[in-house]
Amino acid sequence: MIERLDISGVHTEATDDLKKYVARKVGKLDRFISRHARESVHAEVKLKEGKAKDKNERTCEVIMHLPGETITVKETTINMFAAIDIVETKLRGQLKKYKELHSSPRLHQRLLTKLKHRPMPAE
């Protein structure tokens, strides 16, 4: 779980149900972050409610501060829970890219050398 998770409501109150839902959805995304970076991750979640003349809009914005990079994802829909789901999916993709970029190439080299030096089984 992401330890530092700030949830705030803009023009709306962030209820306990919404906070639990956000914590469950966004908090579990730490598995897409490398282990050495997990301690310094900080996520800010802003839940906004805007009212236009014809429709109600709910916006979920997540700003994730990672070592060396900041990832921002934003989605607007009619339902707040749907916006949180879409933001979680988008954030998952961004974090996968981040992990690929910032993962250690030595680990991959060690795995390849282990596979190369392993004796072949006799058939």
Q: Do residues 7 and 43 touch, judged by C-beta distance below 8 A? A: no
Q: Is residue 50 part of a domain?
A: yes
Q: Is 80 exposed, middle or buried (0-12, 13-18, 19+ CB in 10 A)?
A: buried
Residue 123 lies in a domain: no
CATH of residue 17: 3.30.160.100
Give 51's strand partners. Answer: 56
Domain count, the chain: 1
Decide if 59 contacts 48 (C-beta within 8 A). Answer: yes
27 lies in some domain: yes
pLDDT per position as a tens digit, 76-90 = 999 999 999 999 999
The identity of residue 12, as a single letter, is T
Mean pLDDT of 90-115: 80
Q: Is the pLDDT of residue 56 over 70?
A: yes
Nearest CA to 79 out of 68, 89, 87 is that of 87
pTM of the model: 0.80
pLDDT band at residue 53 using 50, 70 and 90 as cut-offs: low
